[in-house]
Structure 1
Amino acid sequence: MAHIISQRTRRLTAVIVGGAFLAGVLAGCTTTSPGGGGGGSAGGGASGVGKTVAQAKKDGYLRVAIANEPPYTQVNADGTVTGAEPDVLHAVLKTMDIPEIEGVTTPYESMIPGLNAGRWDVVAAGLFMKQSRCAAVAYSEPVIVSTESFGVPVGNPKNITTVKNVLDNKDLKIAVLSGGFEEGILKTAKVPSNQQVLVKDARSGMEAVTAKRADAFLLPTLSLNDLVKSDKSIEVTKPIEDAPKTGSGAAFRKEDKELRDEYNKALAKFKETPEFAKILEKWGFDPEAVKGVTSEELCKNEG
Structure 2
Amino acid sequence: MPSPAPLDRRGFLTRSVRLGAALSVASGLAVTGCSRTQAGTGAPEDDGELLARLRERGFVRVGFAGEAPYGFRDGDELAGEAPTLHREIFKALGVPELRPTLTEFGTLIPGLLADRFDVVSAGMSITPERCAKVIFSEPEFVSPTALMVRKGNPEGLTDFASCAAKGATLGVLSAAVEAAYAKAAGVSDGAVKSLAKQQDGLDALLADRIDAFALTGISLRWLARTNRRAAVEVAAPFFPEIDGVRQFSAGGAVFRPGADGLRDAFDRELAKITGAPDRYVGLIGRYGFTEREVPPRSLRTADLCAA
TM-score, length of structure 1 as denominator length: 0.60
203-212 vs 249-258, which moves further: 203-212
Identify if the C-alpha distance between structure 1 residues 222 and 63 changes in structure 2 by more than 3 Å, giving closer, same or farther: closer
Q: Which has the higher contact order (CA 8 A, sep 6+)?
A: 2
- 1:290 — aligned with what? 295
The answer on whether the counterparts of 1:64 and 1:101 sit within 8 Å (CA) in structure 2 is no
- 2:282 — aligned with what? 278
1:299 equivalent to 2:304? Answer: yes
- 2:26 — aligned with what? none
Identify if the C-alpha distance between structure 1 residues 212 and 287 changes in structure 2 by more than 3 Å, giving closer, same or farther: closer
1:126 aligns to what SS in structure 2?
Answer: strand
Q: Residue 140 of structure 1: CA displacement? A: 0.6
Q: Residue 286 of structure 1: CA displacement? A: 1.8
Distance 2:163 2:111 in 1: 33
Q: Once the two structures are superposed, what CA deviation does each residue of 1:229-259 show, in whole Å capped at 9, x if it has no partner?
A: 3252443243244161233221223343332
Identify if the C-alpha distance between structure 1 residues 84 and 165 changes in structure 2 by more than 3 Å, giving closer, same or farther: same
1:97 aligns to what SS in structure 2?
Answer: coil
- State the number of aligned residues: 248
Q: Once the two structures are superposed, what CA deviation does each residue of 1:180-209 show, in whole Å capped at 9, x if it has no partner?
A: xxx3565798999x965444xx55664576
1:56 aligns to what SS in structure 2?
Answer: helix
Distance 1:113 1:189 in 2: 34
Q: Residue 129 of structure 1: CA displacement? A: 2.6
Identify if the C-alpha distance between structure 1 residues 164 and 209 changes in structure 2 by more than 3 Å, giving closer, same or farther: same
Q: Once the two structures are superposed, what CA deviation does each residue of 1:147-187 show, in whole Å capped at 9, x if it has no partner?
A: 12133555779987656799999x965226x8xxxx35657
1:140 equivalent to 2:137? Answer: yes
1:81 aligns to what SS in structure 2?
Answer: strand
**Letter of the 1:219 counterpart:** L
**Letter of the 1:268 counterpart:** A
1:219 equivalent to 2:218? Answer: no
Identify if the C-alpha distance between structure 1 residues 240 and 147 changes in structure 2 by more than 3 Å, giving closer, same or farther: same
2:122 aligns to what SS in structure 1?
Answer: coil
2:125 aligns to what SS in structure 1?
Answer: coil
Distance 1:68 1:116 in 2: 21
1:80 equivalent to 2:85? Answer: no
Distance 1:87 1:250 in 2: 12
121-130 vs 158-167, which moves further: 158-167
Structure 1 unaligned residues grouped into runs of 5+: 1-44
- 1:228 — aligned with what? 224
Distance 1:300 1:46 in 2: 25
Identify if the C-alpha distance between structure 1 residues 215 and 126 changes in structure 2 by more than 3 Å, giving closer, same or farther: farther
1:256 equivalent to 2:255? Answer: no
The answer on whether the counterparts of 1:208 and 1:214 sit within 8 Å (CA) in structure 2 is yes
- 2:236 — aligned with what? 238
- 2:4 — aligned with what? none
2:291 aligns to what SS in structure 1?
Answer: coil
The answer on whether the counterparts of 1:63 and 1:102 sit within 8 Å (CA) in structure 2 is yes
Structure 2 unaligned residues grouped into runs of 5+: 1-38, 242-246
Identify if the C-alpha distance between structure 1 residues 165 and 98 changes in structure 2 by more than 3 Å, giving closer, same or farther: same
- 2:54 — aligned with what? 56
Distance 1:139 1:119 in 2: 17
**Letter of the 2:304 counterpart:** C
The answer on whether the counterparts of 1:152 and 1:209 sit within 8 Å (CA) in structure 2 is yes
Q: Residue 90 of structure 1: CA displacement? A: 0.7
1:250 aligns to what SS in structure 2?
Answer: strand
Pairing of 1:84-95 with structure 2 (within 5 A) = 84-95=81-92
Distance 1:189 1:254 in 2: 37
Distance 1:204 1:104 in 2: 30
Please report the RMSD computed on the Cα atoms of aligned residues, expressed in angstroms. Answer: 4.5
55-64 vs 83-92, which moves further: 55-64
Residue identity over aligned pairs, in percent, reads 26
**Letter of the 1:62 counterpart:** R
1:127 aligns to what SS in structure 2?
Answer: strand
Distance 1:298 1:211 in 2: 42
- 2:250 — aligned with what? 247
